[in-house]
Amino acid sequence: MSHDQSIKSTRRVFLGTAAVGSTATLVGPSAADARSEVKRPPASIELAQAGPVGTGGASGPDANPLDWSKPAAMALPKEGYFKLEQGRYGPIYPRTPANYGFTIIAKVKPGREQAIRDYGKTIEIAVKESPDVLAPLRLHYLRWVLFDVGSGMHFMYQGVFDTDFDKYVEDAIALFMSTGITTVFINLEGFPEDWKSNTPAVVKFFRDNQRPSFLEYAEYPYASSDEVKKGLRVKASFSQILDQMQ
């Protein structure tokens, strides 16, 4: 084998190792250590965890430890939680393998469909100009959908994030206030006109229009957005090191 071929072969092996190693950084230095050192969630959240689908619906502290290395699914009750436990603005929704999140479906005010579509472009430009503009929300992703099934135009706002429901709403309001960017929800029926100063009313709108999921799945469960980015940074660093070896 030539010297160049040897380097290329080594690079492939190293990058493969880097991919595994970078994922391992999500919880610790090694998979074995990770499994033995998994941090337990707070008791209030532990009680809300459910076992993976197919385990007979087991729930409780030991049903589904926060192990990123095995894909996990969670079936949720119709209410969206396993145990009624009050937060600052209502019931606490559990952390699932896909982390926290919600799906809001509400009717669009007449003639406001284009305003909502334009607002999507506003967010695109804002993120392009300042990539960290939405960082306070600790988002994994957002998905917006407009649809009409015969009862008028509706808007679906689906988000997955690392904070709980109440904190996300508070952080979102604070973000809009600090950036001067208004919220897309002003185009929806029932959204409070005094949203900037009336957080409870905003939360009520979200809860009244939320459609809790009944199944959530994650290929790398419970990993935060920061942990995912950390793993990708480690992989990129390995690649740079190998480039220097050529």
**Is the residue at 38 inside a domain?**
no
Helices (H) and strands (E) in the chain, counts: 7, 5
**Is the residue at 228 inside a domain?**
yes
Residues 240 and 162 grouped into a single domain: no
Residues 78 and 192 grouped into a single domain: yes
220 neighbors 68 (Cβ within 8 angstroms): yes
Residues 204 and 111 grouped into a single domain: yes
Residues 229 and 206 grouped into a single domain: no
pLDDT digits (tens, 9 = 90+) for 159-183: 999 999 889 988 988 888 887 778 9
Decide: helix, strand or coil at residue 242.
Answer: helix
Amino acid in the structure at residue 43: A
159 neighbors 102 (Cβ within 8 angstroms): yes
**Is the residue at 168 inside a domain?**
yes
**Is the residue at 149 inside a domain?**
yes
**For 66, phi and psi rounded to 5 degrees?**
-80, 75
Residues 131 and 185 grouped into a single domain: yes
* Burial profile 125-136: b = 16 or more Cβ within 10 angstroms, e = fewer: eeeeeeeebbee
Angle between helix 165-179 and 199-209 (nearest 10): 120
pLDDT digits (tens, 9 = 90+) for 196-232: 889 889 989 999 999 999 999 999 999 988 888 888 8
**Is the residue at 121 inside a domain?**
yes
What mean pLDDT is reported for the chain? 78
137 neighbors 168 (Cβ within 8 angstroms): yes
Residue with tokens 């960017």: 181
Number of domains in the chain: 2
Mean pLDDT of 128-157: 94
pLDDT digits (tens, 9 = 90+) for 90-127: 888 899 999 999 999 999 999 999 999 999 999 999 99
Domain that holds residue 165: 74-218
Closest listed residue to residue 103, CA positions, set 50, 53, 147, 52:
147
Residues 163 and 231 grouped into a single domain: no
